[in-house]
Structure 1
Amino acid sequence: MPVPGFAVPRREFVRTLLHRGSPPERPDTGEDLAEVGDATLARAARYWVVVPVAYRIAAFVKVFIGFAAANGSVGLFPVLPAAALGVAANAGFLWWLLRSGGLPARRTRRVLTADLGAGLGLNLLIAVLAPDAVQPFAIDVTWTWLVGSVAMWAGTSGLPAALLLLAAAVPVRVLLTLAGGLRLDNPLALSRSIGCLVALAVSIVVACGILVLLGVGTRFALDIGLRRGQEAERKRTQRLLHDSVLQTLEALAIAPSDDADHAAERLAQLRSVAHAEAAELRRSITEPIEPRTGRSFVVELADVAAEMAREGLRTQLVAADFADDDRLSADRRTAMCEAVREALRNTVKHAGTSRVVLRVEERDGGTAVVARDQGRGFDVRERGPGFGIRQSIEARLAEVGGTGQVESTPGNGTRVTLWVPH
């Protein structure tokens, strides 16, 4: 289900983008989804300006080649250095944007104003220096700078600011024509001026389209991330209840043969287990999950085996050929230990045996743990995997790039093979 007012972009959201441009970057409190979306969009908008800057680098080369092909060596002196300067300046600008993490949020207006001023200065210089016969064509080359500038203003400040710059471009183009000593009714100057204004209008349309696509895409991406996060949290809660409360209740429900003869001891044991389980559940809910440090993987497996010994399962841990050099990440170690705990609990509940062998070994570029018992076994083709196998073993390991496999036949016990990569 989409999140109301967030997953489906409303007309108001698109209108706001077009009117104000990308939202200002501010601290993300994470309390409101719309604020999260605006913060994400603002960070993304810092990088999109590399598009018009990269366009100017390519366009300077392209337009200059067209100018040289049409006019030969006439006016080559002022136009060639201007084109080279434009390519070099924009390459440096692009390098600075990528290195500094996009357009600085607090200096956006100052940077774009300086960029616009540089473009106006370059155009005015060419208008004065270029020969009259090719002056309109020469301005086409340097006008490329202003096309990129207007596009950046459209994306960061919105459509009204871009339209204001488009309107201001009319007297600017008149000034450039007069600075070159041409009459305003000169057919060549008039046609090239119209072409330059059309180029600005096209850049505004493209920039606004990119802005809307970026904003709408951000909203949809966050909606998808939200759904996946909710699903992951739901699965985590299910695992927490299954691996703690439910397993403990089932273990307590298994009555030993001498339960009636040791009622007082049994009651004390139940109280102790219930108290420990409540404390562990409270810690899991209220405290952040932090990796344990300073302990080897084999020691953590031994702790799991000791925990299961309190439920009557005797575990033989074999790790003679395993070099515990801490190559497993904290997430993979945690996933493996939880999967081992689930496998051993299934042995307690279903295998009809109190012994299991736990072997740790290096395998296929990762670490494998094999739990083998000689219990009653079952037919894996007739009995599908339960929640514990699907979620606490297979899904848990899959989340960290690992696998879990259960092999069993009636009367021949069960083998559970768990593997995670290094």
Structure 2
Amino acid sequence: MTSQRAGFLVTLLRRGAPAMATATSDLDEGMADPAPVSALRRMRTMAGQVDPAVRDNLLLRATRYVAMVPLAYRIVAVLGALGEFLAGGGDSAAVVVVAALCVLLNVLGLRWLVRTAPFHGGAMMRLLAFDVAFTLIAYLVVAISVPASSFDAAMQVPGKELLGGIALLTLVLGLGYGAGLMVLSIPLRMLAWWASTGMFNVKQGFADLGTMLGVVLTATGALVLLGLGTRLALAYGIRNGRLAERARQHRALHDSVLQTLELLALPRQGEPERQLEEVRRIARAQAIEVRQLIETAQRESDEEAARPLGEKLTALAAEMAREGLRAQLVMAELDEETLSEVRQLAIRDAAREAMRNTLKHAGTDQVVVRVDEEDGGITVVIRDHGKGFDESNRPAGFGISESITARLAEAGGRATVESSPGSGTRVTLWMPR
């Protein structure tokens, strides 16, 4: 059965904040195209169609926090209205009790929102129904309990609760529910005036209509901006995630297959049979590495992930020795918990690329790798005494800019490459704790 599509903006206005759980459907990179466009055009794109049947559970749970704003508003506003009532000479136990209950229920509502339990739509609807019923009853109780002379001041206490309720329904259930409670407040106000004075006055019913309409419009605007902003952020996240994945795949190809092909293409001296055997050895090693890369999607095994940085670099030195590069590892004593796994892997992979560059271009088969704690982080220096190169004339290469510099930057670190003809090359990797 095919799901019926609907506009995201329409869905948002009809269903309230929980409709943001559908924001992940029908997203593509075009929505987050960085090309400059008008704000209205961007908003129209974000308000495009979604599949209401597709709901992201994490987003659905997060939407409940939208209700915290009107609940917090009611606590502050009700206490403020009570203070003005008492300061103006008001004296009604019913008003104080109603204010206390309003504050208590809103505090309990905030506590319910921040609990760790999963989201349940049925429980939310029951609580909202109770909230509306309490607000209406509190409005009438205060009206019955105060004389006409203090009616306006006293009604500000349940009135603030009612305004917060209108905003709450608009945000949580949609524009229709908030507008419905606003319309219901008109006869409610008339009834409250009649209960206090014994007279029926139509004009009293519309006394606070402008304020309530402003609350509805404000809550609706906040809902729209929050929903469209969430969808735009998701679109940017998806786009950037895809770009990062492509860069990772490019690095993987460069660091494995391309490196091996370039190494095989280098001129070699020696007997043909020995050369052929060396080519076979490299090809076998590369085939194993590529197979592991495909099968695990470049994720480290649990055993590898558990290794500290020192063991990772030691294993890397052994790996490079099999490829013909002798690496002398000089390492200070490090705290195994100093760096996160992501940062350790970034250092290891960048060091591998630097060492392979030495093997390919430096004209030497020796390199020194020093590891130490420095400047509030870990520093790894890869130093060779090969032929070096002129940094000013070095063309932008994928190996340095992507496999070394970008890899460190993605994990929060930095990398520098220093070289000059005849003086070798020094690659410095630094990663903060």
Normalising to structure 1: TM-score of the pair? 0.86
Query: 2:361 — aligned with what?
Result: 350
The percentage of aligned residue pairs carrying the same residue is: 41
Matches of 2:6 and 2:334, distance apart in 1: 60
Shift in alpha-carbon separation, 1:131–1:206, aligned structure 2, 3 A: same
Task: State which of 16, 19, 33 in structure 1 corresponds to 2:14.
Answer: 19
Task: State which of 85, 95, 100 in structure 2 corresponds to 1:67.
Answer: 85
Query: 2:386 — aligned with what?
Result: 375
Matches of 1:256 and 1:126, distance apart in 2: 96
Aligned letter for 1:217? G
Task: State which of 96, 106, 130 in structure 1 corresponds to 2:146.
Answer: 130
Q: 1:251-270 maps to which residues of 2 (within 5 A)?
A: 251-262=263-274, 265-266=277-278, 268-270=280-282
Deviating 4+ runs (over 6 angstroms): 28-31
Aligned letter for 2:66? W
Q: Secondary structure at the match of 2:393?
A: coil
Shift in alpha-carbon separation, 1:326–1:67, aligned structure 2, 3 A: closer
Q: Secondary structure at the match of 2:392?
A: coil
Matches of 1:348 and 1:233, distance apart in 2: 28
8 Å CA contact retained: 2:408, 2:431: yes
**Pair 1:205 & 2:205 matched:** no
**Pair 1:50 & 2:68 matched:** yes
Question: Root-mean-square deviation (CA), in Å?
Answer: 2.8
Q: Secondary structure at the match of 1:49?
A: helix
**Pair 1:309 & 2:310 matched:** no
Question: How far did 1:217 drift?
Answer: 0.7
Matches of 2:284 and 2:106, distance apart in 1: 71
Q: Secondary structure at the match of 2:423?
A: coil
Matches of 1:421 and 1:90, distance apart in 2: 44
Task: State which of 407, 413, 418 in structure 1 corresponds to 2:418.
Answer: 407
8 Å CA contact retained: 2:373, 2:379: yes
Query: 2:38 — aligned with what?
Result: none
Question: How far did 1:32 drift?
Answer: 5.4
Shift in alpha-carbon separation, 1:73–1:294, aligned structure 2, 3 A: closer
Matches of 1:143 and 1:192, distance apart in 2: 13
Q: Secondary structure at the match of 1:251?
A: helix
Matches of 1:170 and 1:128, distance apart in 2: 17
Matches of 1:44 and 1:94, distance apart in 2: 14
Question: How far did 1:41 drift?
Answer: 5.4
Question: How far did 1:290 drift?
Answer: 5.1
Task: State which of 330, 346, 364 in structure 1 corresponds to 2:341.
Answer: 330
Shift in alpha-carbon separation, 1:258–1:30, aligned structure 2, 3 A: farther
Matches of 1:257 and 1:119, distance apart in 2: 91
Shift in alpha-carbon separation, 1:133–1:103, aligned structure 2, 3 A: farther
8 Å CA contact retained: 2:12, 2:19: no
Matches of 1:267 and 1:399, distance apart in 2: 34
Q: 1:160-309 maps to which residues of 2 (within 5 A)?
A: 160-185=176-201, 192-262=204-274, 265-266=277-278, 268-285=280-297, 288-289=299-300, 292-309=304-321
Shift in alpha-carbon separation, 1:176–1:38, aligned structure 2, 3 A: farther
Q: Secondary structure at the match of 1:312?
A: coil
**Pair 1:120 & 2:144 matched:** no
Q: Secondary structure at the match of 1:133?
A: helix
Which whole-Å deviations, capped at 9, do the CAs of 1:118-158 have from their partners, x for residues lacking one?
Answer: 11121121111112322243223212111111221122222
Q: Secondary structure at the match of 1:370?
A: strand
Aligned letter for 2:141? L
Query: Which runs of 5 or more residues in structure 1 are unaligned?
Result: 1-9
Matches of 2:236 and 2:19, distance apart in 1: 23
8 Å CA contact retained: 1:153, 1:162: yes
Q: Secondary structure at the match of 1:357?
A: strand
Q: Secondary structure at the match of 2:368?
A: strand
Question: How far did 1:351 drift?
Answer: 0.7
Tell me the matched-pair count.
404
Matches of 2:105 and 2:280, distance apart in 1: 79
Q: Secondary structure at the match of 1:376?
A: coil
Q: Secondary structure at the match of 1:232?
A: helix
Shift in alpha-carbon separation, 1:264–1:338, aligned structure 2, 3 A: closer
Shift in alpha-carbon separation, 1:103–1:277, aligned structure 2, 3 A: closer
Which whole-Å deviations, capped at 9, do the CAs of 1:391-410 have from their partners, x for residues lacking one?
Answer: 11111111111111111111
Question: How far did 1:102 drift?
Answer: 9.6
8 Å CA contact retained: 2:68, 2:110: yes
Q: Secondary structure at the match of 2:323?
A: coil
